[in-house]
Protein backbone atom coordinates (compact mmCIF):
# COMPACT_ATOMS: atom_id res chain seq x y z
CA UNK A 1 0.00 0.00 0.00
CA UNK A 2 1.27 3.45 -0.80
CA UNK A 3 -0.86 5.75 1.35
CA UNK A 4 -2.61 5.67 4.67
CA UNK A 5 -6.11 5.98 3.26
CA UNK A 6 -7.63 4.49 0.15
CA UNK A 7 -6.90 7.36 -2.26
CA UNK A 8 -7.65 5.27 -5.34
CA UNK A 9 -11.20 4.57 -4.18
CA UNK A 10 -12.15 8.15 -5.03
CA UNK A 11 -11.24 7.42 -8.65
CA UNK A 12 -13.11 4.13 -8.92
CA UNK A 13 -16.57 5.64 -8.61
CA UNK A 14 -19.58 3.72 -7.31
CA UNK A 15 -18.66 0.04 -7.01
CA UNK A 16 -21.89 -1.52 -5.70
CA UNK A 17 -23.04 -4.24 -8.07
CA UNK A 18 -19.85 -4.04 -10.18
CA UNK A 19 -17.09 -6.56 -10.87
CA UNK A 20 -13.88 -5.01 -9.53
CA UNK A 21 -10.43 -6.43 -10.30
CA UNK A 22 -7.55 -5.78 -7.91
CA UNK A 23 -3.97 -6.44 -8.99
CA UNK A 24 -2.07 -7.26 -5.83
CA UNK A 25 -4.44 -7.99 -2.97
CA UNK A 26 -1.85 -7.69 -0.20
CA UNK A 27 -3.54 -8.58 3.09
CA UNK A 28 -6.98 -8.26 1.49
CA UNK A 29 -7.95 -5.05 3.26
CA UNK A 30 -8.88 -3.16 0.09
CA UNK A 31 -10.68 -6.11 -1.47
CA UNK A 32 -12.73 -6.68 1.68
CA UNK A 33 -13.53 -2.97 1.92
CA UNK A 34 -14.91 -2.96 -1.64
CA UNK A 35 -16.79 -6.23 -1.13
CA UNK A 36 -18.47 -4.74 1.94
CA UNK A 37 -19.47 -1.80 -0.28
CA UNK A 38 -21.33 -4.20 -2.57
CA UNK A 39 -18.73 -5.01 -5.23
CA UNK A 40 -17.97 -8.45 -6.62
CA UNK A 41 -14.22 -8.42 -6.08
CA UNK A 42 -11.72 -10.42 -8.14
CA UNK A 43 -8.09 -10.30 -7.04
CA UNK A 44 -4.82 -11.72 -8.28
CA UNK A 45 -1.49 -11.77 -6.45
CA UNK A 46 1.73 -13.68 -7.17
CA UNK A 47 2.21 -14.34 -3.45
CA UNK A 48 0.45 -17.41 -2.00
CA UNK A 49 0.90 -15.87 1.45
CA UNK A 50 -0.91 -12.69 0.41
CA UNK A 51 -3.80 -14.66 -1.06
CA UNK A 52 -4.03 -16.69 2.16
CA UNK A 53 -4.15 -13.47 4.23
CA UNK A 54 -6.86 -12.08 1.95
CA UNK A 55 -8.89 -15.27 2.22
CA UNK A 56 -8.67 -15.23 6.02
CA UNK A 57 -9.74 -11.58 6.13
CA UNK A 58 -12.68 -12.26 3.84
CA UNK A 59 -13.83 -15.10 6.10
CA UNK A 60 -13.47 -12.89 9.18
CA UNK A 61 -15.66 -10.19 7.62
CA UNK A 62 -18.01 -12.74 6.03
CA UNK A 63 -17.61 -11.52 2.46
CA UNK A 64 -16.80 -13.44 -0.70
CA UNK A 65 -13.70 -12.74 -2.78
CA UNK A 66 -12.59 -14.48 -5.97
CA UNK A 67 -8.85 -14.90 -5.38
CA UNK A 68 -6.18 -16.20 -7.73
CA UNK A 69 -2.44 -16.78 -7.35
CA UNK A 70 -0.66 -15.62 -10.47
CA UNK A 71 1.19 -13.04 -12.48
CA UNK A 72 -0.45 -9.65 -13.01
CA UNK A 73 -0.03 -10.09 -16.76
CA UNK A 74 -1.77 -13.49 -16.75
CA UNK A 75 -5.49 -12.80 -16.41
CA UNK A 76 -6.67 -15.80 -18.41
CA UNK A 77 -9.02 -16.76 -15.57
CA UNK A 78 -11.39 -13.99 -16.65
CA UNK A 79 -13.16 -13.49 -19.96
CA UNK A 80 -12.62 -10.41 -22.07
CA UNK A 81 -14.94 -7.46 -21.49
CA UNK A 82 -16.12 -8.91 -18.17
CA UNK A 83 -14.74 -6.49 -15.54
CA UNK A 84 -16.26 -3.09 -14.69
CA UNK A 85 -13.27 -1.45 -13.01
CA UNK A 86 -9.68 -2.39 -12.14
CA UNK A 87 -7.09 -0.97 -9.78
CA UNK A 88 -3.59 -1.59 -8.49
CA UNK A 89 -2.44 0.18 -5.33
CA UNK A 90 1.35 0.28 -5.34
CA UNK A 91 1.66 -3.30 -6.59
CA UNK A 92 3.14 -2.57 -10.04
CA UNK A 93 6.30 -0.80 -8.91
CA UNK A 94 8.59 -3.83 -9.20
CA UNK A 95 7.56 -4.66 -12.79
CA UNK A 96 9.92 -3.58 -15.54
CA UNK A 97 7.38 -4.14 -18.36
CA UNK A 98 4.10 -2.44 -17.50
CA UNK A 99 2.85 -2.77 -21.07
CA UNK A 100 2.14 -6.50 -20.67
CA UNK A 101 -0.04 -5.79 -17.65
CA UNK A 102 -1.84 -2.89 -19.32
CA UNK A 103 -2.72 -5.06 -22.34
CA UNK A 104 -4.18 -7.80 -20.17
CA UNK A 105 -6.18 -5.36 -18.04
CA UNK A 106 -7.50 -3.77 -21.23
CA UNK A 107 -8.62 -7.18 -22.47
CA UNK A 108 -10.71 -8.03 -19.40
CA UNK A 109 -12.25 -4.57 -18.89
CA UNK A 110 -15.54 -3.61 -20.47
CA UNK A 111 -15.38 -0.78 -23.03
CA UNK A 112 -15.33 2.56 -21.24
CA UNK A 113 -14.25 1.05 -17.90
CA UNK A 114 -11.73 2.68 -15.57
CA UNK A 115 -8.28 1.44 -14.59
CA UNK A 116 -6.70 3.31 -11.66
CA UNK A 117 -3.26 2.58 -10.22
CA UNK A 118 -0.47 4.13 -8.23
CA UNK A 119 3.29 4.01 -8.75
CA UNK A 120 6.22 5.49 -6.87
CA UNK A 121 6.83 8.97 -8.22
CA UNK A 122 9.90 8.72 -10.48
CA UNK A 123 11.39 11.88 -9.00
CA UNK A 124 11.24 10.26 -5.57
CA UNK A 125 13.86 7.76 -6.72
CA UNK A 126 16.21 10.60 -7.66
CA UNK A 127 16.50 12.45 -4.37
CA UNK A 128 17.70 11.92 -0.86
CA UNK A 129 17.31 14.25 2.10
CA UNK A 130 19.95 16.09 4.03
CA UNK A 131 20.42 14.85 7.62
CA UNK A 132 18.08 16.57 10.05
CA UNK A 133 19.23 18.05 13.35
CA UNK A 134 17.65 16.29 16.30
CA UNK A 135 14.31 17.84 17.19
CA UNK A 136 13.89 19.63 13.84
CA UNK A 137 10.70 19.65 11.82
CA UNK A 138 10.50 16.91 9.13
CA UNK A 139 11.13 19.35 6.27
CA UNK A 140 14.68 18.51 5.26
CA UNK A 141 15.71 19.84 1.86
CA UNK A 142 16.01 17.07 -0.75
CA UNK A 143 19.01 16.91 -3.05
CA UNK A 144 19.53 15.20 -6.38
CA UNK A 145 21.06 11.75 -5.93
CA UNK A 146 20.63 10.22 -9.41
CA UNK A 147 19.44 11.10 -12.86
CA UNK A 148 15.68 11.22 -13.51
CA UNK A 149 16.39 9.27 -16.71
CA UNK A 150 18.21 6.40 -14.97
CA UNK A 151 15.96 3.36 -15.47
CA UNK A 152 17.93 0.88 -13.37
CA UNK A 153 15.98 -0.76 -10.57
CA UNK A 154 16.53 0.45 -7.01
CA UNK A 155 15.08 -0.55 -3.66
CA UNK A 156 11.33 -0.04 -4.03
CA UNK A 157 11.07 -0.84 -7.72
CA UNK A 158 11.66 0.79 -11.08
CA UNK A 159 11.54 4.56 -11.65
CA UNK A 160 8.92 4.42 -14.40
CA UNK A 161 9.13 7.72 -16.26
CA UNK A 162 5.83 9.54 -16.68
CA UNK A 163 6.23 9.64 -20.46
CA UNK A 164 6.82 5.88 -20.69
CA UNK A 165 3.76 5.03 -18.56
CA UNK A 166 1.60 7.40 -20.60
CA UNK A 167 2.84 5.86 -23.86
CA UNK A 168 2.33 2.29 -22.64
CA UNK A 169 -1.26 3.06 -21.63
CA UNK A 170 -2.00 4.55 -25.03
CA UNK A 171 -0.46 1.61 -26.87
CA UNK A 172 -2.61 -0.77 -24.81
CA UNK A 173 -5.79 1.11 -25.77
CA UNK A 174 -6.32 3.37 -22.75
CA UNK A 175 -6.86 7.11 -22.62
CA UNK A 176 -5.54 8.87 -19.51
CA UNK A 177 -7.95 11.30 -17.88
CA UNK A 178 -6.35 11.87 -14.45
CA UNK A 179 -2.83 12.15 -13.04
CA UNK A 180 -2.42 13.06 -9.38
CA UNK A 181 0.67 13.76 -7.29
CA UNK A 182 -0.52 13.67 -3.66
CA UNK A 183 1.43 15.77 -1.21
CA UNK A 184 3.24 13.58 1.31
CA UNK A 185 2.13 13.70 4.90
CA UNK A 186 3.98 16.22 7.06
CA UNK A 187 5.23 13.29 9.15
CA UNK A 188 7.22 11.94 6.17
CA UNK A 189 10.71 12.69 7.44
CA UNK A 190 12.74 14.64 4.94
CA UNK A 191 10.30 14.02 2.09
CA UNK A 192 7.62 16.68 2.64
CA UNK A 193 8.94 18.69 -0.34
CA UNK A 194 8.91 15.77 -2.81
CA UNK A 195 5.90 13.74 -4.03
CA UNK A 196 6.45 10.06 -3.30
CA UNK A 197 3.56 8.64 -5.35
CA UNK A 198 1.85 9.30 -8.65
CA UNK A 199 -1.71 8.15 -9.29
CA UNK A 200 -3.11 7.40 -12.74
CA UNK A 201 -6.62 6.83 -14.04
CA UNK A 202 -7.29 5.74 -17.61
CA UNK A 203 -10.38 4.62 -19.51
CA UNK A 204 -10.54 1.69 -21.91
CA UNK A 205 -11.35 2.81 -25.42
CA UNK A 206 -12.40 0.64 -28.32
CA UNK A 207 -14.19 -2.70 -28.30
77: CATH: 3.40.50.150
Examine residue 92 and state whether it is found in any structural domain, yes or no.
Answer: yes
pLDDT tens-place values along the chain, 207 residues long: 333 356 777 888 899 999 999 999 989 999 999 999 999 999 999 999 999 999 999 999 999 999 999 999 989 889 999 999 999 998 999 898 999 999 999 999 999 999 999 998 888 888 876 666 666 665 666 777 888 788 888 777 888 899 999 999 999 999 999 999 988 776 665 556 778 889 999 999 976
Examine residue 85 and state whether it is found in any structural domain, yes or no.
Answer: yes
Examine residue 77 and state whether it is found in any structural domain, yes or no.
Answer: yes
How many independent structural domains does the chain possess?
A: 1
For the chain, the C-alpha Rg in angstroms (whole number) is: 18
pLDDT at 144: 77
pLDDT at 60: 96
Examine residue 132 and state whether it is found in any structural domain, yes or no.
Answer: no
Among residues 67, 86, 72, 106, the alpha carbon closest in space to that of 21 is found at 86
Examine residue 167 and state whether it is found in any structural domain, yes or no.
Answer: yes
Provide the β-strand partners of residue 109.
83
Q: List the domain range (segments joined by +) for residue 116.
A: 9-121+159-186+196-204
Rounded distance, CA 207 to CA 204, Å?
Answer: 9
End-to-end CA distance of the chain: 32
Cβ distance 41 to 9 under 8 Å? no
Amino acid sequence: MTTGDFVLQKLLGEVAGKRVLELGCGDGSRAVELARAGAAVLAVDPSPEAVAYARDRAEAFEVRLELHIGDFADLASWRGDSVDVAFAEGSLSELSDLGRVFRQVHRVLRPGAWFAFSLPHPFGFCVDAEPEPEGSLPLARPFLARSYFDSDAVDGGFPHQITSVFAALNRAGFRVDTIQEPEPAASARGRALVPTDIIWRARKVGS
